[in-house]
Amino acid sequence: MVPEYSAPTALKSSGSADYRGGIALFEVPISGGIPRRIWTDRRISDSTLWDWSPQGETILYSDDLTGKTPSVSEMDLKTTKRLPFLQDDEYAIYESHFSHDGKWVTFNAITNGRSRLFVTPFRKSLAPRSEWIPITDGHWDDKPRFSYDDRLIFLASDRDGHRCIWAQPLGADMHPGGSPFAVYHAHQRRRSLPNWSDFEMDVGMSMIVVNEEELTGNVSLLEPAKATSP
Residues that bind Zn ion (CB under 5 A): 160, 162, 164, 185
Shortest spacing between CB 178 and Zn ion, in angstroms: 19
Nearest-approach distance from CB 155 to Zn ion, in angstroms = 12
Rounded Cα distance between 173 and 42, Å, is: 41
The alpha carbon of 16 is separated from its chain's Cα centroid by a whole number of angstroms, namely 16
| Min separation Cβ 184 and Zn ion, Å | 8
By C-beta, is 176 or 180 nearer to Zn ion? 180
Handedness of CA 130, 134, 137, 139 (dihedral sign): negative
Residue closer to Zn ion by CB (options 148, 181) is 181
Least distance between Zn ion and beta carbon 164 (Å)? 3
Minimum CB separation from Zn ion for residue 162, in Å?
5
- Choose between 25 and 164: whose C-beta lies nearer to Zn ion: 164
Residue nearest to Zn ion (CB): 164
Query: Is 12 or 159 the residue whose CB approaches Zn ion more closely?
Result: 159
Residue 165 to residue 186: CA distance in whole angstroms: 8
CA–CA gap between residue 185 and residue 32 (Å, rounded): 38
Instruction: Classify the C-alpha dihedral 168-174-176-177 as positive or negative.
Output: negative
CB-wise, 32 or 161, nearer to Zn ion? 161
